[in-house]
Amino acid sequence: MPPVADAKVDANIIEQVRSQVADILHPHYDTPFNFLRWLQSYEFNVSKTVHNLRKHLKWRKERHLDEDARGLQQSAVTAEYAPLSVVGWNQVEGGDRLIVVDQCGRIDIGGVMKSIQPTEYLHQLYRNFENLLSMIMKKEAETGVQCAVLYVFDLDGLSFDPSLLGILSGPFRVSWQSLGLHYRELIDRFVVINTPSYINVLWSALSAFIPEQSKSRIAITGRNWRDELLVMAEAECLPERYGGKIPDEKALKDPQPVPKDLYWRPKPDYPSVAAMHRISTPAGKTRTLTYYLEAGMELHLYSHNESDFTFAIYYSEKETTPEEEYEALLPPIQKCALPAIDLYNQDITRTGYYHLRMTNDAAWLFPSTYRLIVHEKSGKEVQALNQKEKWIKQGVKSK
């Protein structure tokens, strides 16, 4: 029987899940604890676990996460100027908690938002979490005990300005919801320290988006936050500034402001915003562009939006397939309005119909415009089958 964290868990349940995903399971990901995390997330409902785990495993395969993660874009700005500090293994509770510090209060979040592309930024976060998952899996193999992350949000240095709430309810929320889809039960506890006087305002902005079952994992500390943190972690496992014994310079990275010369600028090989097709979408409505694509193609989807949109990609073998039977390749994800043009790359592994769906669910009254153009890797534009719809204003062709 594989080692498990809960004696009530029968190895047969894990094997039931494993047998139903074996066709897309990479040996690297094939551990009892990975299955256990997904089962815990769906309260040991095997059918729900299999349904959602298959989506995750397809995504892992598509992005080569169990090899070299070459399918994920990289963001040098995020890695350098919004770093995570992996402090090490906590000795409390048998050393099964990996302490990670996010010094979000010191990060130049405005500079980061002006420097990143949405997909590139999210993919860098995936890279961070793949690193944490690898460390967790290694420890589990050594100890035979389920491990997890103790994630510390340090708000020291956070200043309240008009853009903060928008960032929290926009990019911050979207990125964490996306991480939550793929890294189930990886984080055992969120601890918020150095909370400012307006923490209630921040919590009000975020709490509406946090599932009820997740709120119990969030510990918002008060003035005696060092004492509270030392209840969860030994001093030998914490930086000095947190009441621990590890020199700060060995445990923590020091976030710096983003130089303005790193703010995003159009790249020479990118289409201009003017070249993109403008898709007008009424408030609360959805537009869908359908493409017939052949296996082996690699698509580059360039987009830009000045208001929040929800974007998704679906597949059907036949053009006449009912919408409710489409297969989700990219589940609906909110694309926040940022200065940069976004690039989303998609390998076409099956010939068929690909449906790009844009929903204007952020606006209450007025229509919004989503700009989009699809290229092959060579730079040649790929036209949608319904490219001539009245709600599409064609982009300006390059001379």
Q: Are residues 299 and 378 in the same domain?
A: yes
CATH of the domain at 362: 2.60.120.680
* pTM for the predicted model, two decimal places: 0.92
Residue-range definition of the domain harbouring residue 371: 273-393
Please tell me the total count of domains within the chain: 3
180, burial (CB in 10 Å: exposed 0-12, middle 13-18, buried 19+) = middle
Longest distance between any two alpha carbons in the chain, whole Å:
68
Amino acid (1-letter code) at residue 239: P
Give the dihedral of Cα atoms 80, 71, 129, 361; nearest 10 deg. Answer: 90
pLDDT of 132: 98
Residue 5 lies in a domain: no
Q: What local confidence, expressed as pLDDT, does residue 163 receive?
A: 83
236 and 292 fall within a common domain: no
Strand order of the sheet with strand 368-376? 342-347, 298-305, 368-376, 277-281, 392-393
Residue after which a domain boundary falls, among 218, 242, 262: 262
The verdict on 116 and 234 lying in the same domain is yes
67 within domain boundaries: no
Q: Residue 110 has what pLDDT? A: 92
Residues 30 and 80 placed together within one structural domain of the fold: no
Based on the fold, state whether residues 237 and 360 are members of the same structural domain: no
How big is the chain, counted in residues?
399
Q: Tell me if 352 is assigned to some domain.
A: yes
- Among 242, 262, 282, identify where a domain stops: 262
CB 99 within 8 A of CB 188: no
Q: Clarify whether residues 324 and 382 are in a common domain.
A: yes
pLDDT in the model for residue 2: 40
Looking at the structure, tell me whether residues 157 and 97 fall in a common domain. yes
Q: Is residue 363 part of a domain?
A: yes
Within-domain flag for 68: no
User: From the CB of residue 121, how many other CB atoms can be counted at a distance below 10 Å?
Assistant: 24
CB 83 within 8 A of CB 255: yes
298 in the same domain as 384: yes
45 and 103 inside one domain? no
How far is residue 178's CA from residue 165's CA, in Å, rounded to a whole number? Answer: 19
Residue 9's pLDDT is: 60
Q: Verify that 86 and 229 share a domain, yes or no.
A: yes
Residues 140 and 252 in one domain: yes
Give domain status of residue 2, yes or no: no
pLDDT of the chain, 399 residues: tens digit per residue: 344 445 456 789 999 999 999 999 999 999 999 999 999 999 999 999 999 999 999 999 999 999 999 999 999 999 999 999 999 999 766 678 999 999 999 999 999 999 999 999 999 999 999 999 999 999 999 999 999 999 999 999 998 887 888 888 888 888 998 999 999 999 999 999 999 999 998 888 888 778 777 888 999 999 999 999 999 999 999 999 999 999 999 999 999 999 999 999 999 999 999 999 999 999 999 999 999 999 999 999 999 998 889 999 999 999 999 999 999 999 999 898 899 999 999 999 999 999 999 999 888 888 999 999 999 999 999 999 999 999 999 999 865
Supply 392's token pair: 């599409």
Give kind and range of the element (H or E) at residue 46: helix 46-62
Asked whether residue 250 falls in the same domain as residue 294, the answer is no
Please, are residues 96 and 148 in contact by the beta-carbon 8 Å criterion? yes
Domain membership flag for residue 316: yes
In a domain, 211, yes or no: yes
